[in-house]
Amino acid sequence: MAMEMRLPVARKPLSESLGRETKKHLVVPGDTITTDTGFMRGHGTYMGEEKLIASVAGSVERVNKLVCVKALKTRYHGEVGDIVVGRITERRRSAKDELAMRGFLQEGDLISAEVQAVFSDGAVSLHTRSLKYGKLGQGVLVQVSPSLVKRQKTHFHDLPCGASVILGNNGFIWIYPTPEHKEEDAGGFTANLEPVSLADREVISRLRNCIISLATQRMLLYDTSILYCYEASLPHQIKDILKPEIMEEIVMETRQRLLEQEG
Partner 1 sequence: MAGLELLSDQGYRVDGRRAGELRKIQARMGVFAQADGSAYIEQGNTKALAVVYGPHEIRGSRARALPDRALVNCQYSSATFSTGERKRRPHGDRKSCEMGLQLRQTFEAAVLTQLHPRSQIDIYVQVLQADGGTYAACVNAATLAVLDAGIPMRDFVCACSAGFVDGTALADLSHVEEAAGGPQLALALLPSSGQIALLEMDARLHEDHLEQVLEAAAHAARDVHTLLDRVVRQHVQEASILLGD
Residues forming the site for partner 1 (CB under 8 A): 13-15, 18, 20-22, 24, 26, 28-30, 44, 46, 48, 53, 55-59, 71-75, 120-122, 148, 217-220, 255, 258
- Minimum separation from the CB atom of position 26 to partner 1 (A): 5
**Shorter beta-carbon distance to partner 1: residue 85 or 144:** 144
Which of 130, 125, 133 has the alpha carbon at shortest distance from 109?
133
Smallest gap from residue 223 Cβ to partner 1 (A)? 15
Least separation in angstroms between residue 121's CB and partner 1 is 5
Q: Which is nearer to partner 1, 165 or 221 (CB)?
A: 221
Give whichever of 85 and 219 is closer to partner 1, judged by the CB atom.
219
- Least Å distance between CB 238 and partner 1? 21
- Which residue number, 4 or 21, has a Cβ lying nearer to partner 1? 21
Rounded CA-CA distance 73/75 in Å is 7
Q: Are 77 and 87 in contact (CB under 8 A)?
A: no
Give the nearer residue to partner 1 in terms of CB position, either 29 or 235: 29
Residue 33 and residue 60 in contact, taking contact as beta carbons nearer than 8 Å: yes
Dihedral sign, CA of 111, 152, 220, 240?
positive
Q: Which is nearer to partner 1, 102 or 151 (CB)?
A: 151
In three-state secondary structure terms, 206 is helix
* Beta pairing, strands 83-87 & 124-127: unpaired
Number of H helices, E strands in the chain: 4, 15
Spatial CA neighbour of 255 closest among 232, 239, 235: 232
| Least distance (Å) between residue 156 CB and partner 1 | 22
- Residue 221 CB, shortest distance to partner 1, in Å, is 11
**Beta carbon of residue 30, minimum distance to partner 1 (angstroms, whole number):** 4
72/117 with CB nearer partner 1? 72
Cβ-Cβ contacts under 8 Å for 50 (sequence gap 6 or more): 35, 37
Q: CA-CA distances (angstroms) from residue 66 to 30, 41, 48, 77?
A: 19, 6, 17, 18
Query: What Cα–Cα distance (Å) separates residue 56 from each residue in 30, 62, 67, 135?
Result: 9, 15, 13, 36
